Amino acid sequence: MRHGKKFNHLGRKTAHRSAMLANMACSLIEHKRINTTVAKAKALKQFVEPLITKSKEDTTHNRRIAFSRLRNKYAVTELFREVAAKVGDRPGGYTRIIKLGNRLGDNADMAMIELVDFNEIYTTGKTAKKTTRRSRRGGKAKASEAATTETASSEEE
């Protein structure tokens, strides 16, 4: 019986699936975004997000857990240095899946999976703080207008 076994097998045996997810996770950590199918992107999200959570606390034990899953020491180093520094204050949801349409050859649903904090388009708009609005009731605005009209009228004379 297969009660409670809900993860997607992706049409592969266990060893092939874990090797593929490790390779995709290393590529995602290195390049910050990759294009793949929607099913693989969802499986990769479940694979990589616990590793990013572990990377927030840089201990030898957490590094060894990450290395046992990723099997690439350069990806582990990048994960614990750059990625962990960017996502330190985020409570979860480190990746974003954006659907891209269907692939030309076999009509498979394609998606782009990316690390959220490394997308400059979205992060610059949210981190920039808005300046205070000017009041319509007057205050400094009326005083500055009165000063400019006085100087303009004195120059005309």
| Mean pLDDT, residues 125-145 taken together | 59
* Burial class for 36, CB neighbours closer than 10 Å (0-12, 13-18, 19+): buried
The segment with the largest mean pLDDT, out of 30-34, 125-129, 136-140, is 30-34
Taking 80 as the threshold, does the pLDDT of residue 127 lie above it? no
| Mean pLDDT, residues 147-152 taken together | 56
User: What are 13-70's pLDDT values in tens digits?
Assistant: 999 999 999 999 999 999 999 999 999 999 999 999 999 999 999 999 999 999 999 9
pLDDT at 140: 60
As a CATH number, domain 14-123 is 3.90.1030.10
Which ranges of 32-127 does DSSP label H, i.e. alpha helix?
38-55, 60-70, 73-78, 84-86, 120-127
Kindly indicate the confidence band of residue 88, based on its pLDDT and cuts at 50, 70 and 90.
confident
Spatial contact of 8 and 39, defined as CB atoms under 8 Å apart: yes
**DSSP structural state of residue 116:** G
Q: Is 129 helix (H, G, I), strand (E, B) or coil?
A: coil
Kindly indicate the confidence band of residue 156, based on its pLDDT and cuts at 50, 70 and 90.
low
